[in-house]
């Protein structure tokens, strides 16, 4: 692998049937990085959840809006960025799905799954949205969810290490 590693970018329309394509790319890169089948599966699931959230919540199922996925594999670090054309959200406002009052709800688990399956999950939003916790270097017009998995970083709660 070269100094810059492996980088793949894909843009899809906001259709649920496109989710699997992005998931397959993620799992393929995990295998290239030497992650076992189990670890690759869980990272693929996190990507699936991020893309589903971008389509449903970010782009509001508008097929004219796009979801971008960028995968960058360098050494044994895989960084995944999923961005949409939505207005963003306040991550602190998302309820804890393990809270007894939320257990019977049919939604609200995607971010929980992403955080469970990945070593790190970050959000960045355009500054103009004025959402608490926005990162300064965010891009205009995109809600962005970053998923990162670091091979070799032992995380006892990470399914790949169970």
HSE-up (13 A, CA, CB side) for residue 147: 28
For residue 55, the model assigns a pLDDT of 97
**Dihedral (CA of 122, 31, 41, 67) sign:** positive
Residues of 18-50 as b/e, b for ≥16 C-beta within 10 angstroms? bbeebbebbbebbeebebeeebbbbbbbbbbbb
66 against 140, higher pLDDT: 66
For residue 159, the model assigns a pLDDT of 39
pLDDT at 9 over 80: yes
Q: How far is 12 from 67, CA to CA, in rounded Å?
A: 5
Q: Which domains does the chain have, with CATH numbers?
A: 6-161 (3.30.565.10)
Q: What does pLDDT average to over the chain?
A: 80
**How confident is the model over 81-110, as pLDDT tens digits?**
999 999 888 888 888 989 999 888 887 888
Task: Centre a 10 Å sphere on the Cβ of residue 156 and count the other Cβ atoms it contains.
Answer: 6
For residue 121, the model assigns a pLDDT of 93
pTM value is 0.77
138 against 43, higher pLDDT: 43
């Amino acid at each position: 692998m070269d100094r810059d590693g492996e980088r793949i970018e894909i843009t899809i329309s906001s259709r649920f049937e496109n989710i699997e394509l992005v998931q397959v790319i993620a799992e393929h890169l995990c295998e290239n990085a030497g992650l076992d089948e189990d670890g690759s599966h869980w990272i693929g699931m996190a990507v699936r959840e991020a893309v589903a959230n971008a389509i449903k919540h970010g782009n509001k199922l508008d097929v004219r809006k796009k979801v971008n996925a960028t995968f960058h594999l360098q050494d044994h670090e895989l960084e995944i960025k999923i961005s949409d054309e939505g207005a963003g959200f306040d991550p602190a406002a998302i309820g804890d799905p393990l809270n007894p009052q939320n257990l019977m709800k049919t939604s609200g688990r995607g971010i929980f799954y992403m955080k469970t399956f990945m070593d790190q999950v970050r959000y960045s939003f355009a500054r103009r949205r004025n959402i608490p916790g926005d990162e300064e270097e965010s891009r205009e017009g995109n809600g962005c969810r970053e998923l990162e998995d670091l091979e070799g970083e032992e995380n006892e709660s990470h399914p790949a290490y169970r």
